[in-house]
Structure 1
Amino acid sequence: MKIEGKDQYIKITVIGILVLLIVHSLLGSISFKAFFNLTALEIIFAGIILSVIISFSFDTLIVTVKMIHASFTDKIDYAGDIHKLHQLSAKVKREGVLSIQSEIELETQTFLRDAMILLNDYKKPEVIRDILEKDMESRRANLYRPYNVLKMISHIAPSFGLIGTLIGMIGLLSNMDKTDMIMNNMAYALVSTLYGGLIANFVAVPLMGRLKEYIDRNMLRWAMIMEGILLIAQNDSPRNVFDKMNVMLKESERLEYPRSRVEERNWTTYELES
């Protein structure tokens, strides 16, 4: 945990430094007054928002905001899942599958709770696998909805920047006899393209990458849970449940088998982590 926190601090520091360098390079080349063009901002943001609202439901847009926030704040606890299913396997071995009903009611993670319900209701592992795979595919499709919103923004932002440029050039050519209008329209034309490129490449595309990583982490979590539940349904040993889930992690993140915490031969009392 300390290493993860240190890495996060270093990452934030590096991002801050790079952002300052970009801002310095922009404002070092042009004045803030020239960089901030309200007309260009209006056409860029109004065009992007209008296109997104037309293309996607409000529910999808709300989910997009929530998922972006979750990608920064949610910590997926693979180790907790492995230990939880390891203990669940021991409990089922000791007391039978019907003994997990109380744990189902306490479980807050929806995919794991649904998997535990299937384990409690079905005896055939192939039936459980088929249902969980369909559940994972459905969840994956829902997770990609926000990704598609950002993908669209990354495509249309430069286009609206070009539209702003064309409008600025039209204004420039229409007022060739007015020096002040020529300068204003020229600045508007160039800044519009800049805004479109910045929104696409410094906002939408990085967030797409972050959401893709967030989706992959969740898919790995669900695959691990499914593997553990299927092994329990097959009446496999708690050690196999632990090892086969553990091996799905990166080598640097794999856990040691908790011999000191669980004495499987004596079937001592287990407490499932909620």
Structure 2
Amino acid sequence: MDIATILGLLGAFGFIAMGIDEPARFVNPPSLMIVGGGTLMVALLRSSLAEFLSAIKVMGKTFKNKLDRPEDLIDQMVDLAKVARKDGMIALERQEVSNKFLAKGVSMLADGNAPELIKSSMQRDIAITRTRHKLGAKLFADMGEIAPAMGMIGTLIGLVQMLSNMSDPKAIGPAMAVALLTTMYGAILANVACIPMSKKLENQSELEGLNNELILEGVLFIKGGGNPRVLADMLASFLSPKQRAKIAETVG
């Protein structure tokens, strides 16, 4: 689990709740339906059903921190390079690899595929993954744009209901609640949930893309039969200076 996402959401809603003296006053089903339901339906309107469901699935990445550390990937690839150089590519079949993208590369190495085929296949996977993540992030960015607009629509509905029932004092309060709470719900949904999730998905997609590029470079190097020590130095370009120093100590 990504503790930052959990703490961020709970903290944001917690601090908002601390400013509310009577929470029941801020619960309005019509406002929730206008903003929550309306935002989802307009987001669905902007995409196909398959894209919408795929984006909802991608959202889970904001709650799961499954990205491998690049320095760990480099250590693992250096070990794989040593095995391949000593015992041959076929020996890679016996190696346990948890990263799915690296596992694919290792499998292609063990099968004896040509470098050109390995490169084209893995590059295609990188591009497809980035596109899928981009669509997921875009959906939540769209929802961050839609939610305040739905809040404004709810505000107008509430004002119309209030103005059309000025002769009935009992109807003014509920109509005003809809007018004000829909604006609040829209702002909260956009700025506390949708936009932050969109940005986090973009960041995670970039980090995963860099990891995959690192893996691709390493797999092609292993295919060429290069020195494992040189592999570590080459892949260190993906790391920060501090991380490079640690890799140098590990390998050297």
TM interval, short-chain normalised = 0.7 to 0.9
Corresponding position of 1:175: 165
Q: Which residue identity does 1:20 align to in structure 2?
A: G
Question: Which of 208, 212, 234 is the aligned partner of 2:224?
Answer: 234
1:190-205 map, 5 Å: 190-205=180-195
Distance 2:198 2:129 in 1: 18
Distance 1:60 1:19 in 2: 29
Alignment RMSD: 2.8
Tell me, yes or no, if structure 1 residue 22 matches structure 2 residue 12: no
User: TM-score, structure 1 length as denominator?
Assistant: 0.78
Corresponding position of 2:73: 81
Unpaired stretches in structure 1, ≥5 consecutive residues: 1-7, 261-274
Q: How many residue pairs get matched?
A: 248
Q: CA 1:92/1:33 → structure 2, altered by over 3 Å: closer, same or farther? A: closer
Corresponding position of 1:154: 144
Q: CA 1:17/1:54 → structure 2, altered by over 3 Å: closer, same or farther? A: closer
Q: CA 1:62/1:12 → structure 2, altered by over 3 Å: closer, same or farther? A: closer
Q: CA 1:208/1:231 → structure 2, altered by over 3 Å: closer, same or farther? A: same
- How far is 1:233 from its partner? 2.0
Corresponding position of 1:92: 84
1:1-274 map, 5 Å: 19-25=13-19, 27=20, 31-57=22-48, 59-77=50-68, 78-103=70-95, 106-120=96-110, 121-124=112-115, 126-254=116-244, 255-257=246-248, 258-259=250-251
Distance 1:213 1:207 in 2: 10
Q: Which residue identity does 1:81 align to in structure 2?
A: L
Q: Percent identity?
A: 24
Distance 1:14 1:216 in 2: 21
- How far is 1:60 from its partner? 4.2
Q: CA 1:59/1:226 → structure 2, altered by over 3 Å: closer, same or farther? A: same
Q: Deviations over 1:137-186 (max 9, x none)?
A: 01111222321221221111111111111111111121121122122212
User: TM-score, structure 2 length as denominator?
Assistant: 0.85
Distance 2:167 2:187 in 1: 31
